[in-house]
A and B are shown apart, each in its own frame.
Chain A
Amino acid sequence: MTAHPYMANSTPELKQEMLDAIGAGSIEELFAQIPASHRLQGELDLPPALTSEVELSRHARELLARNESCEDNLSFLGAGCWQHHVPAVCDEVVRRSEFVTPVWGTPASDYGRNQAWFEFCSQLGELLALDFVGLPVYSWGCAAGHAVRMASRINGRREVLVPALLDPERLAVIRTYCEPRQMGSHLELVAFEELADLEAKLSDRTAAVYFENPTSLGVIETRAAEIVRLAHDAGAEVVAGVDPISLGVLAPPGDWGADIAVGTIQPLGVHMSCGGGVGGFIASRDEERYAREYPTLNISLCDTVVPGERGFGVALFHQTSYGLREEGNDWTGNSTYLWAIAAATYMSLLGPRGFEEVGSSILQRSHYAASLLAEIPGVSVRSPDFFKEFVVSFDGVTVEEVNRGLRGHRIFGGKDLSRDFPALGQSALYCVTEVHSRGDIERLATALTEVLS
């Protein structure tokens, strides 16, 4: 057998050398612990090996050629995974082998990566106007799930109020994190509509109010301060979901009184990768009440044995599942730490002016798109004040039909909302970002006019 390129010791001589050193007659002897009855009888049924990179690369490219991307098509899909510009420097940094391959080392030898993580938390904290930020979690929905559990542990209450129009994907994740009704640890999710409805549903059972700005339908939540006041009056914690790419222009959650902020990091320099680019964060004011409930690993600036020299250590490690197993806060494990480095790079590249500019650009382009679409007969735009995403409604035609028509123009229309939110009729959620040129938007309007005529 030819030595395998991934395995340095896959030559007969090396195997024999090691066997001789051990004093074993065969590799098989080394598996003596496994009873014969436990072992696989017969051969593994796997597809043929492609050990030559030439063949493997060809096979992979043939597979990928069966995809059509958002570069081949003009896409207006968002809803939790958004097409933003990824600076080339972000790609270069996250493809460095030093960042791609490691797992965990010592504070001195993995210092650079730990510093990058700290810079992620620090810069995100500036955007959020909050000063305690954990290392990332799997996704926005997972962050929200952990955050409502944190709130429940803080105040001992077991009901969570969530917006009736919350993104169904995110809601499904949060629901999983809340345990079924049959279990003692169940958290009851209660949907609220308008402010008066929220007020009516708040009680001494309310652990947390969760809401988002912008909402998952893109609407800027002008009543944030009022929601916070009502929630706090009822003794509930406020968990706010935000999209950090909006925070150069939108007021940060720390300023309007959110206790725990959660959200996505995918817009900050991470490709969509079919949903594989998502990542989430949890942040709060740096108060023990919150800090001691984090399930995350938390990287802290600290001192080394040499006066004046900086190091980075893990704060509050003991409260994680690594420290306390089932007594720890939820659980900790692999997450999306490479994306923390992408996001740190992204935030450094943009700076305060870049965030203001990207936010303005998104606002202008998305509003331009909304205004063009609203002029088309049979089309209406529901959202008045929005950021990046807006709801487009159609008369006398289904979203499915519209999107099929747009496909003929190499356009991916907005996400169909008609099944999840029947009250919105035939509506779609359109996402317009800094990557969409005026020409792209005009092309959409022209195509849509044609499809509807």
Chain B
Amino acid sequence: MRRYHAAVWDEPLVMELGREGRRGQIFDAEGDATSLIPESMRRATPPELPELSEPDVLRHYLHLSQETLGMMGISLFGTCTMKYNPRLGEALAARPELAELHPYQPEDTLQGVLAAIHGLDEILRGLSGMDGFVFQAGGGAHASYTFAAVARAYHAARGQLEQRDEVITTIQAHPCNAATAAAAGFKVVTLMLGPDGYAEVDALRAAVSGRTAALMVNNPDDMGIYNPHIDEWVRIVHDAGGICFYDHANFNGVMGRIRARDLGFDACMYMLHKTFGVPKGGGGPAVGAFGCTGELARFLPAPVVVRDGERFRLDYDRPDSIGKVREFWGNVQQVVKAYLWSRAMGAEGIREAADLSVLANNYMDRRILEIPGITRSNAQLDVPRLEMTRFSLGELQRETGIGILDVAGRLADYGIDGPWESHEPWIVPEPITPEAGEMWSKEDLDYWIDALAQVCREAREDPELVRSAPHNQVVHKLADVPLDDPGYWATTWRAYQRKRAQVTA
């Protein structure tokens, strides 16, 4: 194993740094401007912000960046498709021709960016079979919400919204499907899984009715299991009068092989910050690309980029549109990056990426199952998983007392950032879900597996070493702290100071 230790700077909070009078930015103001503010609305006391020089601030945040492992090591965070984010996209997005654009500029000054958006729209149409995409949603969950809003508009247009108030999903669909359906005003019907790892057709038949507004599901799921009856599911929901949304969060393994529209779906979603090479930024700015059939297109959030010969324009004149799910057109710079990634890959490259991600997962699968104490979900399902596999450390925990959270902490000592466990509810004990993707080399994957094997060995030989991990990190593991206790939590420095003063008083 490599020798590794995280950078430790003991970096104080920025609020604890600085000295009175230091400056990090100067603005040209001509004396006191407060006379321009009505007296009642003037700020009485200055904000208690730190006072630092420009290099002090730079070095502080560079230290914090160094105290962040992320993808500097090997991160196979499942369901999030950790892949290369081409730096060409970053460099281009920093140019003023993209960074210094305003969405209300005249259309003739935005032709380049509109062309890129339209270009990606066409590529996603090719990959999905849908008739058009919009990029307004700021993430996958937001695209899921966009669908729920489209479903409302669709049924309202048919005079059936009062009656159709249920959305069907499965317990293995992402929590955001259920949550956004509920936030959009629907009741949620959740199907449990059958013996083969997906919900059974009969369970769906029993669930649909005249109240069914929509189906919202992923496929394959987060365990790498593909529901082979998905086309029948769509037919059943359509026959009941509902519409169907394909949450394509797990598209990486099936890119170029299946298309949402061919399976009968009315709408689908791709995460550009996962599958299409856009960086994750620790949680955005992200893009949920939402696509649908021509029948649903009139409900899309406005504006929609359309082509008029050689020119592109923004179509705001959409009377049946759901309106907006956020301001402007979406995280445009990320859409441009996804367009460039797609062009860099091409049809052949995209298919190759899917092949490699499934091949790599099965390679990992084979090696991981050789580690004592690790099993695979749905053990009786003897087929290769797609781009991820859900494993369980349940046996290891029974034998050693060491569970997934301990293992995750110890993996960080080997330069591997926390792996994905599973969404709630955990349907296997002590879950772990690596996803290899197409970026990581075989050497990287072998290192990751070797580290996992090493930690599992340590769990048997020296469980305390694992339980008390990490040891080579920026700080140690969190104490068992009451983060849901109002006397304890502190999301700001001012709250922290007040609460700790009360404790010590």
Contact = CB atoms under 8 A, between A and B. Distances in A.
B219 to A, nearest CB: 10
Contact of A47 (B93, B343, B491): B343
Given A40-B256, A274-B98, A352 B46 contact: yes
A348 B100 contact: no
Range, interface on chain A: 35 or more
A335 B340 contact: no
B58 A89 contact: yes
A7 interface: yes
Contacts of B11: 112, 115
A357 B232 CA distance: 64
6 contacts: A43-B347, A51-B346, A121-B492, A304-B479, A325-B175, A348-B61
B193 interface: no
Interface in B220-235: 220, 225-226, 228, 230-231
B280 A334 contact: yes
B104 A360 contact: no
Contacts of A348: 14, 24, 49-50, 52, 57, 60-61
Nearest to B40: A222
Given A69-B97, A112-B474, A301-B490, A118 B13 contact: yes
A175 B302 CA distance: 14
Interface in B1-57: 6, 11, 13-15, 18, 22-34, 36-38, 40-44, 46-52, 54, 57
B95 A64 contact: yes
Given A69-B96, A95-B90, A315-B483, A40 B259 contact: yes
Contact of A304 (B43, B99, B113, B475): B475
A31 B358 contact: yes
B326 A102 contact: no
A375 interface: no
B94 A95 contact: yes
Interface in A288-324: 288, 291, 297-306, 309-311, 313-318, 321-324
Contact of B86 (A6, A118, A299, A313): A6
Contacts of A218: none
A325 B179 contact: yes
Contacts of B267: none
Given A288-B486, A363-B36, A311 B27 contact: no
Interface stretch (B65-73, B237-245, B392-400, B452-460): B65-73
Contact of A22 (B333, B363, B475): B363
B475 A354 contact: no
Given A34-B257, A101-B85, A50 B96 contact: no
A44 B99 contact: no
Contacts of B92: 57, 60-61, 64
A183 B24 contact: no
A287 B491 CA distance: 12
A131 B424 CA distance: 30
A110 B69 contact: yes
B29 A350 contact: no
A210 interface: no
B343 A67 contact: no
Contacts of A166: none
B88 A56 contact: yes
Contact of A249 (B42, B54, B271): B42
A100 interface: yes
Contacts of B289: none
Nearest to B497: A131
A184 B356 CA distance: 48
Range, interface on chain B: 35 or more
B100 A83 contact: yes
Interface stretch (A74-82, A156-164, A442-450): A74-82
Contact of B470 (A34, A109, A133): A109
B44 A251 contact: yes
B262 A40 contact: yes
Interface in B194-247: 220, 225-226, 228, 230-231
Given A6-B344, A50-B343, A63-B115, A140 B50 contact: no
Nearest to A303: B479
Interface in A311-370: 311, 313-318, 321-328, 330-339, 341, 344-345, 347-361, 363-364, 367
Between A8, A75, A101, the greatest number of chain B beta carbons within 10 A of the residue's beta carbon is seen for A101
A127 interface: yes
Contacts of B25: 85, 87, 349-350, 354, 358
Contact of B349 (A19, A51, A256): A51
Contact of A69 (B54, B85, B100, B352): B100
B323 A172 contact: yes
A33 B383 contact: yes
Contacts of B68: 98-99, 102, 105, 109-113
A103 B70 CA distance: 7
A276 B481 CA distance: 37
Between B70, B273, B336, B486, the greatest number of chain A beta carbons within 10 A of the residue's beta carbon is seen for B70
Given A44-B256, A106-B412, A131 B332 contact: no
B348 A224 contact: no
Contacts of B283: 103-104, 135, 297, 334-338
A121 B179 CA distance: 25
Between B23, B24, B77, B477, the greatest number of chain A beta carbons within 10 A of the residue's beta carbon is seen for B24
Contacts of B486: 286-288, 291
A138 interface: yes
A105 B474 CA distance: 13
Interface in A259-293: 271-279, 286-288, 291
Nearest to A140: B327
A116 B226 CA distance: 39
A326 B352 contact: no
B110 A32 contact: no
Contact of A32 (B30, B141, B383): B383
B41 A250 contact: yes
A179 B332 CA distance: 27
Nearest to A298: B491
B438 A108 contact: no
A249 B149 contact: no
Nearest to B141: A333
